[in-house]
Amino acid sequence: MKKFIILLTLLALFINCVYAENIKKVSKEYKVVTNDGFTIVSTLEYPKVKQKKEFYTVVLLHSLGYSSEWWDTLPTKLIENGYAVLEIDLRGHGKSIYNSKLSKVSWKNLTHKAYSKYPDDVISVIKYVQSENKRVFFNKWAIVGADIGAATAIHAANIIETPPQTIILISPVINAKGIYVPVKLAELNNIDILSITGTSDLDGNNANDYLKKFSQSAYIEYSSEAKSTGMLLFKHDKSLSNIISSWLSQYLK
């Protein structure tokens, strides 16, 4: 645990790091059709650097009711730090709204059975992107998830062939639309967790108190001064992107 106390100190020191400006990047959109015919859309971005052929990947899973567009400065900060960033719109959100009949389906109309497919959707996207783009790889990778994205991250990490090195939870939840977290968290081995909440995030803080009892590795809590929850934390606390980048550097570099 001493190691992680030191890491938290380092995070504070890294907040004022200087990042490259106007970095050039490659951006590609991928569409994956699931077994039940739903189209999941994702965007992969990574630095345009000729001499570097491969990039560690960070997967971003957004909040319920939002989309990948709400990550604020986080994707840019990660790319500037040399990572590939895979932003996935969960089914019923953003661009991932078309079912097998090409009818639009909102997250508001999804059943718990549909929400339960989120982890498999994420894994399908990761496998497809990995097969289609040799510049990124998932031998060392990480997930950042917000509320339902956080719950999905825990479940996906349990069933994917190569688990992530670390998972970052934004406003964690115990149960999101039937995606129950504690048991799956207890089944994870050697995956450190960083959990970020805001000062007004009572549900997230209560979830932390409960979930950390199930963690088999380090479960580190960071409280932002922002009075927000979920992805809105990034809008009101610009330091979070730097804190996340600093945390990831301990695992992906």
Residue numbers of the domain that contains 115: 2-252
| CA 14 remoteness from chain centre | 21
| CA 61 remoteness from chain centre | 4
What pLDDT is stored for residue 21 in this prediction? 52
Asked if residues 98 and 32 have their Cβ atoms less than 8 Å apart, the reply is no
Query: The pTM is what?
Result: 0.92
Integer-rounded Cα Rg, in Å, for the chain is 17
pLDDT tens, position by position, 85-116: 999 999 999 999 999 999 999 999 999 999 99
Separation between Cα atoms, residue 24 and residue 80, nearest integer Å: 9
What pLDDT is stored for residue 12 in this prediction? 45
Asked if residues 48 and 26 have their Cβ atoms less than 8 Å apart, the reply is yes
Distance (Å) of CA 1 to CA 5, 51, 84, 159, 206: 6, 38, 29, 27, 22
Look up the CATH number of the domain holding residue 63: 3.40.50.1820
Total domains in the chain come to 1
Separation between Cα atoms, residue 29 and residue 32, nearest integer Å: 10
pLDDT at 229 > cutoff 70? yes
Separation between Cα atoms, residue 163 and residue 27, nearest integer Å: 25
